[in-house]
Amino acid sequence: MAPEKNKQKVCILGSTGSIGVNTLNVIRGNAEQYEAFALTAKSQVDLLFKQCMEFRPSYAVMLDSEAAEELRTKLSLAESSTEVLDGMSGLNFVAGHDDVDCVMAAIVGGAGLLPTLRAAETGKKLLLANKEALVMAGKLFMRLVKQSGAKVIPIDSEHNAIFQCLPIDDHARFTSHSGQGVKKIVLTASGGPFLNNTLSELKEVSPEQACNHPNWSMGPKISVDSATMLNKALELIEASILFDLPAEQIDVLIHPQSIIHSMVYYLDGSVLAQLGNPDMRTPIAHGLAWPNRIVAGVESLNLAEIGQLNFQQPDEERFPCLRLGRESALSGDSAPIILNAANEIAVAAFLQREIRFMQIPVIIEEVLNKQERRTVKSIEEILEEDSKARSLAKKLTNEK
């Protein structure tokens, strides 16, 4: 009898979120090739319990220790053999575990930074959804990847599209693209739910409206980021780091249908694009299987039914976050860390109805103007800048 083929062991950081659930969906459809080795969440006991019962991972980690205790009790009553860990130490443990082949980094926000870095420094195949980690620690992250030989596959749909359109070597290394005939890259943006709203209408929008994205179903934070277009600002910084291109060579183009996920312009006039229905299972499946392909469960693209694809220039007056992102990307200092931290605080305050939608960019810009910029190298310096910006943003949101 032929020996059973080894399955790839996957650690999902943030398995209860939108990306996490989609990742499990793809694993479920390809169970002969992949298995969940570790699943993690902040505090959602019921969903993590359900996931553990179905996928039987070796480890489950909850950031919150009380939630971990509750999960432990439930699993032990159900006679599950999954071991429950807690805290940042638990997240770092599973992200760097020797048995793990592949880490899906899908915790939202700066909270995902340390375990994502752990996966990078231990040389994993790293499926990177947590863009905030890269925005905060881009240079450090890329250095760790280089030293450890980790393979990074971007999961953000735009960056995954660019990854698919660039010449990439066997090790998923994609540096020095200016030397490979790349003229520029174009990040497409749906424009979010408020693409056609006037400035005065934007001042009145609610968290529910902001979270109601026309094309994508995502967690609340990234949904608000898409509505302010700060998401595209983070993505511009993300692209600049991942593909080693200056921000001047990265354009943003509004494409409301979200069918073309991004494009690469070459010196000879060729433009390569990646197309597909807006469904995160496509980049997730691409990342899991890379360099091969697997079924993602996504409906086949029907261009005749869609009829037309539209494009327009972004409007930085109604969406000032785009300008703030470009300025931060060009700065070469701690501006991206400050931008990201101030945004996380402002978005949380908006979701709590403490500030209005159009105050989000105002707070980010005030924090960017007030906080002294530095060149940061170590993780300690990054965390220090991040925490300073969060305090300042909290102070400003309280004053609004």
By the criterion CB under 6 A, which residues form the site for ligand NAD?
A: 14-20, 41-42, 44, 63, 106-108, 111, 129-132, 156, 216, 218-219, 221-222, 280
Determine the Cα angle at 161 with ends 157 and 163, to 5°. 115
Eight-state DSSP code of residue 103: E
Q: Which stretch binds Mg ion (CB under 5 A): 1-9, 155-163, 261-269, 378-386?
A: 155-163
The contact mask relative to Mg ion for 233-252 (x = CB under 5 A, - = no) is --------------------
User: Among residues 18 and 80, whose Cβ is nearest to ligand NAD?
Assistant: 18
Where are the extended beta strands (E) located within 173-270?
Answer: 182-189, 250-254, 260-266
User: Among residues 20 and 320, whose Cβ is nearest to ligand NAD?
Assistant: 20
Are the C-beta atoms of residues 360 and 346 closer than 8 Å to each other? Answer: yes
User: Among residues 86 and 366, whose Cβ is nearest to ligand NAD?
Assistant: 86
Q: Which does 7 bind (CB under 5 to 8 A by kind): ligand NAD, Mg ion, none?
A: none
How many residues of this chain bind Mg ion (CB under 5 A)? Answer: 3
With CA atoms as reference, report the closest residue to 99 among 39, 10, 3, 28.
10
User: Among residues 30 and 44, whose Cβ is nearest to ligand NAD?
Assistant: 44
Q: Which does 107 bind (CB under 5 to 8 A by kind): Mg ion, ligand NAD, none?
A: ligand NAD
Q: CA torsion sign, 199 to 397 to 236 to 256?
A: negative
Provide, rounded to whole angstroms, the least separation between the CB of residue 78 and ligand NAD: 21
Give me the residue whose beta carbon is nearest to Mg ion: 156
Are the C-beta atoms of residues 363 and 397 closer than 8 Å to each other? Answer: yes
What are the structure tokens assigned to 206, written together?
A: 């609610």
User: Among residues 202 and 351, whose Cβ is nearest to ligand NAD?
Assistant: 351
Q: Which does 106 bind (CB under 5 to 8 A by kind): Mg ion, ligand NAD, none?
A: ligand NAD
Q: Which does 17 bind (CB under 5 to 8 A by kind): Mg ion, ligand NAD, none?
A: ligand NAD
User: Among residues 80 and 223, whose Cβ is nearest to Mg ion?
Assistant: 223
Phi and psi at 56, nearest 5°, equal 45, 55
**The one-letter amino acid at 27:** I
What are the structure tokens assigned to 172, written together?
A: 């998923």
User: Among residues 18 and 359, whose Cβ is nearest to ligand NAD?
Assistant: 18
Q: Which does 216 bind (CB under 5 to 8 A by kind): Mg ion, ligand NAD, none?
A: ligand NAD
The string of DSSP letters for 361-398 reads HHHHHHHHHHSPP----SHHHHHHHHHHHHHHHHHHHH
Q: CA torsion sign, 119 to 123 to 129 to 135?
A: positive
- Return the residue of 70, 132, 156, 225 that touches Mg ion, per CB under 5 A: 156
Q: Which stretch binds Mg ion (CB under 5 A): 108-116, 158-166, 213-221, 325-333?
A: 158-166
Determine the Cα angle at 295 with ends 302 and 221, to 5°. 80
User: Among residues 279 and 366, whose Cβ is nearest to ligand NAD?
Assistant: 279
Q: Which does 280 bind (CB under 5 to 8 A by kind): Mg ion, ligand NAD, none?
A: ligand NAD
Q: Which does 129 bind (CB under 5 to 8 A by kind): Mg ion, ligand NAD, none?
A: ligand NAD
With CA atoms as reference, report the closest residue to 203 among 228, 232, 231.
228
Residues 6 or more apart in contact with residue 65 via CB below 8 angstroms? 86, 87
Provide, rounded to whole angstroms, the least separation between the CB of residue 288 and ligand NAD: 15
Provide, rounded to whole angstroms, the least separation between the CB of residue 193 and ligand NAD: 15
| Coil, strand or helix at 110 | helix
Alpha-carbon torsion, ordered 14, 19, 23, 25, to 10 deg? 120
| Coil, strand or helix at 341 | helix
Provide, rounded to whole angstroms, the least separation between the CB of residue 156 and Mg ion: 4
Give me the residue whose beta carbon is nearest to ligand NAD: 17
For residues 349 and 61, what is the distance between their CA atoms, to the nearest angstrom?
Answer: 27
225 binds Mg ion (CB under 5 A): no
Q: Which residues share a beta bridge with 275?
A: 260
Interface residues with Mg ion (CB under 5 A) are 156-158
